Amino acid sequence: MIRRFGALLLFPAVVFLTRCGYTGEPLPPLLHIPARVTDLAVMQRGSQLVAQFTLPALTTEGTGLKGIGRVELRVGPASNPFDAHVWAAGAKVFDDLRTEPPALLKYEIPVGEWTGREVVAGVKVFGENGRDAGWSNFIALPVIAPLAQPRNLSGEATAAGVRLAWQEASSEVRIFRQVAGEPGFTAAATVKASEWVDTEAQYGKTYRYYALSVSGSAESAPSLQIAITPVDRFPPAVPLGLAAVAGAGSIELTWDRNMETDFAGYRIYRGPDVIADLHPSPTLSDRKIESGKSYRYAISAVDKEGNESARSGEVEITAP
């Protein structure tokens, strides 16, 4: 009997402790509203406006977004001062967009009806319940007539690097480059010319290039891509300043130093014969001479690929 009574006394205590774990009123249900888009970017490429943004992965409450009901992009004329309600009422609606989060979405819109005007773009994301958190960041940009596309892009290896040339481009051209093995193209230069030399290109590596005209935030359609693997067939500069001085039992030669990064050495000629090959320094002491005999000297420079420059001008001297 004592044991049974003790068990009965414990039961209400357990119930009391269980009830003490309750910590407040029930929370309201989640609203499941997609967070606002904050990274909308818009640019003109050729005859298209290209809009790009990331679909939200979270709700306004910071919870994981389970689904999106609709995505709406609007583009319309700008006004001063800007009024979002007036703009939205007159803007063109594009809502046949993907709705799988998270995703970087790109959308192309013909510019024809807005050419010569400034437009504003904004995007709004709706939940499956039809609710939204408001417009994204707004982007305003002028729409211009499509820029001329660079044509006949060509490339050739030169001693200075890969030389690119093109035709029929606008005033500024942006060149994009991809090195073999890299995942994509990167902007290499923007120039106001019809050619450009890629001085960073290395011999033996394969490069792909394309170009497009640019003006402010507008771009032309890209040119066709080209690929080139430059090969070093370019000799160093001809050595300059060769001088000969008679010494005691020798003829001393000096000349100006070559500064090429791929320089390997000098080739020294005495008449038709090579008396030193890949000589490292711009001086030489020729001791294999006979007194009273005249000698003619010339030198050339050689790079690491074995390309030899033309010979310098000859100097003639009589051994003492």
pLDDT given for residue 12 in this prediction: 43
Strand partners, 211: 175
Residue 217 domain-assigned (yes or no): yes
Domain harbouring 131, CATH code: 2.60.40.10
- On whether both 206 and 255 belong to a single domain, the answer is no
| Domain membership of residue 282 as a residue range | 243-318
Distance of CA 106 to the CA centre of its chain: 19
Taking the C-alpha atoms of residue 110 and residue 61, their distance in angstroms, rounded to an integer, is 36
- On whether both 128 and 156 belong to a single domain, the answer is no
C-beta separation of 94 from 27 below 8 A: no
The two structure tokens encoding residue 253? 């030669």
pLDDT given for residue 18 in this prediction: 43
The Cβ of residue 13 has, within 10 Å, a number of other Cβ atoms equal to 9
Residue 218 domain-assigned (yes or no): yes
| Pairing of the two strands 263-270 and 273-279 | antiparallel
Strand partners, 92: 75
- On whether both 47 and 135 belong to a single domain, the answer is yes
Cα 50 to Cα 35, 43, 73: the distances in Å are 22, 5, 12
Residue 238 domain-assigned (yes or no): no
C-beta separation of 239 from 253 below 8 A: no
The Cβ of residue 184 has, within 10 Å, a number of other Cβ atoms equal to 6
Does the CA dihedral 246-247-249-254 come out positive or negative? negative
C-beta separation of 65 from 56 below 8 A: yes
- On whether both 177 and 214 belong to a single domain, the answer is yes
Tens digit of each residue's pLDDT, the chain (320 residues): 333 333 333 334 444 334 444 455 655 666 789 999 999 999 999 999 999 999 999 999 999 888 888 999 999 999 889 999 999 999 999 987 777 766 888 999 998 889 999 999 999 999 989 999 999 999 999 999 999 999 999 999 998 999 999 998 777 999 999 999 889 999 999 999 999 999 999 999 999 999 999 998 899 999 999 999 999 999 999 999 999 999 889 999 999 999 998 899 999 999 999 999 999 999 999 999 999 999 999 999 999 999 999 999 999 999 98
Pick the last residue of a domain from 228, 258, 290: 228
Residue 237 domain-assigned (yes or no): no
- On whether both 74 and 130 belong to a single domain, the answer is yes
The Cβ of residue 157 has, within 10 Å, a number of other Cβ atoms equal to 17
DSSP-based three-state secondary structure for 16? helix
Pick the last residue of a domain from 142, 164, 179: 142
Residue 9 domain-assigned (yes or no): no
- On whether both 161 and 79 belong to a single domain, the answer is no
- Indicate the number of domains in the chain: 3
DSSP-based three-state secondary structure for 90? helix
- What ranges in the chain are assigned the alpha helix state H? 2-20, 84-90
Q: Specify burial of residue 166 (Cβ count, 10 A radius: 0-12, 13-18, 19+).
A: buried
